[in-house]
A and B are shown apart, each in its own frame.
Chain A
Amino acid sequence: MNHVLTQSPTAPVVESAVSLPPLKVRRRKSSMKSRPTIGGMIGRVIVWLLVAFNLFLVVWMVMTSLRDTRDIARDPLGLPTQPHWENFATAWNTGGFGIAAINSVVATVVSSLLVVAIAAPAAYVLAKSTRRLSSTFTLMFVLGLGVPGQVLLVPIYVMLAKFQDISHLKMINSVQGLIVVMVGLGIPFTVFLLAGFFRSLPVEIEEAAAIDGSSGIRTFIQIVLPLARSGLVTAFMLAVISGWNETLFSLVMLTTAENRTLPIALLAFLDQSQFNGADWGGLFAGIVLVVTPVLALFIWLGRRIVEGMTVGISK
């Protein structure tokens, strides 16, 4: 039974990856680079247009967030004549984005730290253990990746509500409840990602530590974790990004303004503008608040984020 189960859904890739000799990434030399064909030229033009469009969206978003709402409605693509910083003030105070930004930061950072702290030891034992049970557990985490959030939505909501009744700890409509959910939901991916990193660490170093008399837990904390630092940072960053963008559960759980996270505040702002008329300036200021932290992270740690999200697939 176990034997059948050990065939993970991604196993064939792994087999081929294992059987491959370590290949160096080689790029075609410049001799091949010359003479782009007509089709190639057209392709390049299209690619650069696409890049220009994406960059334009970012610039346009920032510009629009600094313009007067009436100006925006009149000419959506115009430049700000003078910066209307009050859009941000409005969004931050009356739009509820201020409290939402604080909630988002707290929920995201705390849940990401917790999920990495809980997933790292598990990923380590799964990566290094030779027990047969381990591959069953590994498979369980892998399968968890494929479960759509909506399947868990109602059950988790009901379970939290019941837990709240029993324990009198606030779960529904509270940031701490959202943190609990984000930690729980983030476990499979983080375990999965970190197991890959731990597996790539050389076993010799731990053996040397053991020979020097280091206990298992000390080896893990003092030797393995520092070695896996880049993996832990990547896992943390990816948890931050997915936590920052979490919408489905936040939408169901966080009902009042003082508990909203940024995506929910954005939705609430949209709803409000149904009745009060659209405040485009404030809306774009809110969008800037949602997008900018991710953009900053990406500029700072882009390579790591990209590798974390694609690692192993192409290995």
Chain B
Amino acid sequence: MATPVISPARGRSTGRPRAGMSAIERSRRRLYWPMLLPALLLMVLFYIVPILYAGWLSLHTWDGINELKWRGADNYIQLAKDPIFIGSIVNTLKILFVVGIVTFVFAFALTMILRDMMGRKFVRSVLFFPTLINAMVFGIFAGFLFSPAGPINKLLAFVGVQDPPKWLAQDNLFNLIMIVMIWSATGYFTTIIMSAVDQIPAYYYEAAGLDGAGPWAKFRHVTLPLAWDVISVCAVLWTMSSVKVFELILVFGGSTAQAPPASTWSTALYVYQAAFGGGSREFGVSAAAAIVSLALVTVLTIGLRRMLRREAIEI
């Protein structure tokens, strides 16, 4: 989920070798293809060919064993009529927008709180750590902690709540999943936003303070505009990772020998279940769902970038 930023290739690119090229340039050119080719080949084999293949498979029906049969757009039509698939799209969008917005609000709040706090590095590290752990573990923890006779309910009973909510009931399950996601993603985005905010010179805040700006006005008129670029990159990062959510939902509830309830599926779960989730293997339907989720992430990323585009503000 991490992404550094690449800058466009530098300098005067003519694409043609020129006379009077330096020796270093010449030897670089000689090495260009040998050094690049292995990575390029893997990229073609593991990204480009599979995507094209998925597109082709999505127009067929296939169980992986018998003859492949042409099906045209029927897989997509079937998906459009499948309430579970529609639900998985809705869930993915919920993860993107609900979890995303709450996480960002929390991340900003934490950034503001941590700015002048003692031990900020330590706090940041502790909050960052969940990002690195397989989300499956949190699914198991939550299933254990929130089980009917589990610690959370015991704690609630201790404070006097006699009728705790049924955390792991179907209706609440997805909400609980979203809460766990917010908890585990906040630290990562806090870290990114914090390092952006750290680069805002202090005298901007001092000047704003002299003009009578309170904490909110400082945030609104100094922090937010100056950190905007980073926010928009974070939004793209979150879009990409929200479409990938898989492990957490797969194990949520602690002990699921079968598939988790369909009401909690994300698109990743749907793709997995259609192809490998027991019963007949429907590679065609699965590929169609995969293509839809690729289209979804593309449209959302482009849309978000458009929406968040602004003139870069120079410090």
Contacts and interface: CB of A to CB of B under 8 A. Distances in A.
Interface in B221-280: 229-230, 232-234, 236-237, 240, 243-244, 246-247, 250-251, 254-257, 267-268, 271-272, 275-276
B291 A187 contact: no
A252 interface: yes
A102 interface: no
Interface in A265-293: 266-267, 270-271, 273-275, 278, 280, 283, 287, 290-291
Nearest to A40: B113
Interface of A is mostly: helix
A273 B271 contact: no
Given A154-B271, A314-B199, A76 B144 contact: yes
Interface in A88-105: none
Given A134-B9, A152-B51, A267-B136, A54 B126 contact: yes
Nearest to A143: B47
Contacts of B233: 10, 13, 313
A116 to B, nearest CB: 11
Contacts of A211: 23
A193 B46 contact: no
B290 A245 contact: no
A215 B27 contact: yes
Contact of A238 (B2, B45, B140, B251): B2
B8 A6 contact: yes
Interface in A191-209: 191-193, 195-196, 199, 206-207
A290 B133 CA distance: 8
A131 B39 CA distance: 17
A132 B27 contact: no
B257 A309 contact: no
Interface string A284-312: 00010011001100100010011011111
A309 B2 contact: yes
Q: Which of A19, A183, A191 has the most CB of B within 10 A?
A: A191
A131 B9 contact: yes
Interface string B31-72: 110111011101101110111011001000000100000000
Given A32-B116, A155-B53, A148 B201 contact: no
A31 to B, nearest CB: 10
B205 interface: yes
A197 to B, nearest CB: 9
A137 B312 contact: no
B275 A295 contact: no
B312 A15 contact: yes
A75 B250 CA distance: 27
Contact of A154 (B5, B283, B294): B283
Contacts of B136: 247, 263, 266-267, 290
A226 interface: no
B198 interface: yes
A142 B6 contact: yes
Given A23-B201, A154-B275, A245-B134, A147 B47 contact: yes
B1 interface: yes
Contacts of A20: 314-315
A263 B309 contact: no
A306 to B, nearest CB: 6
Nearest to B129: A298
Given A15-B312, A181-B46, A187-B42, A131 B32 contact: yes
Most chain A CB inside 10 Å of its own CB: which residue of B42, B123, B233, B271: B42
B297 interface: yes
A105 to B, nearest CB: 15
Given A29-B202, A183-B42, A263-B134, A76 B275 contact: no
Contact of A13 (B215, B230, B297): B230
B3 interface: yes
A149 B244 contact: yes
Contact of A158 (B42, B251, B283): B283
B268 to A, nearest CB: 4
A64 B51 CA distance: 44
A26 interface: yes
A150 B133 CA distance: 20
10 interchain residue pairs of minimum CB distance = A184-B46, A309-B2, A312-B4, A216-B27, A122-B39, A16-B312, A155-B50, A121-B35, A312-B5, A43-B113
23 contacts: A16-B229, A26-B202, A27-B202, A50-B127, A76-B150, A118-B39, A131-B13, A144-B43, A146-B240, A146-B297, A154-B290, A155-B54, A158-B57, A184-B47, A251-B272, A270-B256, A274-B255, A295-B129, A306-B125, A306-B128, A313-B237, A314-B199, A314-B230
